[in-house]
Structure 1
Amino acid sequence: MRGNGTGCRSEQKISSPNQDERPEGETISVVVVHGITLPPGQFGGPWIRQLFTNTLDCAAHPFFESIRHLRVSAHALIRRGGEVEHYVPPHRRAWHAGISEFRGRSACNDFSVGIELEGTDDLPYTPEQYRSLAGLVMELMVRYPAITEDRVVGHSAVAPQRKTDPGPAFDWGRFYRELAKLRGDAP
């Protein structure tokens, strides 16, 4: 995943050890949009990066002790300012969806790309995040034609009993308008 051609998206690669090979012959066909903050409700800081790289300082905040055991990752994280951090190449399996199902298929990590947005269920995401997300999704749709608009879903859609993110604060209409602009079919 690279820039969207506008030059307005800062990107950084950081390798997560929490990845592996996808099953042989698997087609990448879904994008799962997540929301994350560490500690909960706080933005910025090194904590998400540390979580995804198994270097989280559990003494830095009381909440961190409760997630000490987690080994998770995402393909990308979009910070509040729209900056993108890439953790797992899209052709590899990131550990983001957990126990999940999409249209009758379980184990969504096998066939999806996970994109985390730094945010919460109840605070608006930023315009920069919507632009960066649309740019990443457009790149993925070009690279993996099985990904279509109806296959870009929230974590809550694939794990509804466990997850609520990206939450009601995520404006799907705004995301689709940004995607339409990149395709050139927006008014």
Structure 2
Amino acid sequence: MTQETFPDAMKIFQDPAKQVSAHYMVASADGYIGQFVREKDVAWHAGNKDYNNRSIGIEHEGWVDDPKWFTDEMYASSAALTAAVCDRYGIPKNRDHIIGHVEVPGTDHTDPGPLWDWDRYMRLVNGGSRVHRRA
């Protein structure tokens, strides 16, 4: 979770002085996906240089301690994006390979937080949902 609204997090990602970015961010209200860094490039999202160098960062609009941000649209859209990334790179669709920032060794991140429903998310990732993006 960005601990910010989508527009505010977008401004932060676009400010080089902040030294933080993500490949993608998913909006809470409608599941809109914004891409901020090309997948072939490194994004600074995981709080660990090694993980940044070998992962695709997907951030989610909202706050870790406020479940109203965890909408059906966000779960579905994010899971579809994750499934598509896994399919593109041959990444197994399991919790050993799909982790939250809180699970990255040496990080100070807490997202997606204890209220994120990993069981639901992984069911969606493995269901092959389609990715929807606004133009």
TM-score (normalizing by structure 2): 0.83
- Helix, strand or coil for the counterpart of 1:129? helix
Amino acid at match of 1:134: A
Q: How does 1:47-66 map to 2 (within 5 A)?
A: 47-54=8-15
Count of aligned pairs: 125
> Structure 2: any 5+ residue segments left out of the alignment?
130-135
Give, in whole Å, the separation in 2 of the partners of 1:160 and 1:95.
Answer: 14
Deviates most, 154-163 or 114-123? 154-163
Going from structure 1 to structure 2, the CA distance change for 1:122 and 1:48 (only over 3 Å counts) comes to: same
- Helix, strand or coil for the counterpart of 2:84? helix
Amino acid at match of 1:73: S
What are the superposed Cα offsets for residues 35-67 of structure 1, whole Å, 9 maximum, x if unpaired? 1132xxxx35x2111100118xxxxxxxxxxxx
Q: CA RMSD in A?
A: 1.9
Give, in whole Å, the separation in 2 of the partners of 1:145 and 1:165.
Answer: 25
Aligned to 1:113: 56
Larger Cα Rg: Structure 1 or Structure 2?
A: 1
Answer yes or no: is the 8 Å Cα contact 2:48–2:107 preserved in 1.
Answer: no
Higher strand share: 1
Answer yes or no: is the 8 Å Cα contact 2:3–2:64 preserved in 1.
Answer: no
1:75 aligns with 2:23: yes
Which residue, 167, 173, 180 being the options, matches 2:113? Answer: 167
Give, in whole Å, the separation in 2 of the partners of 1:160 and 1:133.
Answer: 25
> Structure 1: any 5+ residue segments left out of the alignment?
1-34, 56-68, 101-106
Deviates most, 91-100 or 149-158? 91-100
Answer yes or no: is the 8 Å Cα contact 1:77–1:115 preserved in 2.
Answer: yes
**Which stretches of structure 1, 4 residues or more, deviate above 4 A after TM superposition?**
none
Give, in whole Å, the separation in 1 of the partners of 2:89 and 2:107.
Answer: 29
Deviates most, 131-140 or 118-127? 118-127
Going from structure 1 to structure 2, the CA distance change for 1:85 and 1:180 (only over 3 Å counts) comes to: same
TM-score (normalizing by structure 1): 0.61
